[in-house]
Amino acid sequence: MIPIGNESRRVQFPLATYLIIVLNIIMFVLELVNGDNFTLQYALIPANVSRGEALVTVLTSMFLHAGFLHIASNMIYLWVFGPALEDVMGSIPFGIFYLLCGIAATVLQVLVNINSQVPNLGASGAIAGVLGGYILLFPRDSIRAVSFVGGSILSNRISALVLIGFWFVLQLVSGFTSLGDITQGGVAYFAHIGGFVAGVALVKFFARRPPNNVAELM
């Protein structure tokens, strides 16, 4: 199930959200132009960071992606859920919130796979923080989503609580079943978990004004 729009909320122009999306796209273009060496230079390797090396990659890895599907899925989630949080936080606080969630995501992923040499990259840890903040503030929002069933594309509405809640449970189950695997690449589930928990914990400190234009879920 892929979210494609928020039917419950109209917000002011989400400058920070769009800037983050643009920055991710620019970095992805640079990856395509410069090849694997560029990506590996700025991706995060848990074993290096745990030794206090290449600490800048804690930030740079948040703006790298492994392919078109990777960046597309992350940016869709940010585009759907980011503006509402930015609307109640303001652009600069939202940017800080986003980065803090991404850092928290990375810290947990490194702690779980502290000796791993597998490069980590992607915005999903920070975006998980956005989802964590969203589900706490706007659980009843109606989210337009599409599903792929038997070769058909189905469009439906679902509450943010159900959509994000199901996503988080999936991360928990997948994360704990993948414990101990430090040699294989794949999804950094504990980055998602760390980012989500950070978003839940931090959102009330950053939300400064009431939300606009709430429509009840029918």
3-state secondary structure 81-115: HHHHHHHHHCHHHHHHHHHHHHHHHHHHHHHHCCC
Q: Which of 124, 152, 155, 159 is catalytic?
A: 124
Where along the chain do its domains lie? 12-139+162-206
What are the CA-CA distances from residue 206 to residues 31, 78, 85, 105, 202 (Å)?
Answer: 33, 17, 9, 18, 7
Contact 86, 157 (CB under 8 A): no
Which pLDDT does position 188 carry in this prediction? 83
CA separation for the pair 168, 72 (Å, rounded): 19
Q: Which of 8, 65, 142, 192 is catalytic?
A: 192
Say how many C-beta atoms besides its own lie within 10 A of residue 27's C-beta: 21
Which pLDDT does position 33 carry in this prediction? 96
Q: Is the pTM of this model over 0.85?
A: yes
Annotation says 159 is catalytic:
no
157 beta partners: 144
pLDDT per residue as tens, the chain (218 positions): 788 888 777 788 999 999 999 999 999 999 999 999 999 999 999 999 999 999 999 999 999 999 999 999 999 999 999 999 999 999 999 999 999 999 999 999 999 989 889 899 999 999 999 999 999 999 999 998 888 777 678 788 899 999 999 999 988 888 878 775 544 456 788 899 999 999 999 999 999 876 665 543 33
Which pLDDT does position 155 carry in this prediction? 81
What are the CA-CA distances from residue 182 to residues 9, 36, 117, 118, 215 (Å)?
Answer: 41, 21, 8, 7, 45
Extract the tokens encoding 180. 């101990």
Extract the tokens encoding 82. 């980011």
Which pLDDT does position 218 carry in this prediction? 31
CA separation for the pair 204, 23 (Å, rounded): 26
Q: Say which residues have a Cβ less than 8 Å from residue 210's Cβ, sequence separation at least 6.
A: 88
Instruction: Give me the amino acid identity at 207.
Output: A
Tokens 């999804």: give the residue.
187
Contact 25, 166 (CB under 8 A): no
Extract the tokens encoding 130. 């956005």
Tell the CATH superfamily of the 12-139+162-206 domain.
Rhomboid-like (1.20.1540.10)
Annotation says 152 is catalytic:
no
Q: Say which residues have a Cβ less than 8 Å from residue 79's Cβ, sequence separation at least 6.
A: 17, 21
Which pLDDT does position 211 carry in this prediction? 67
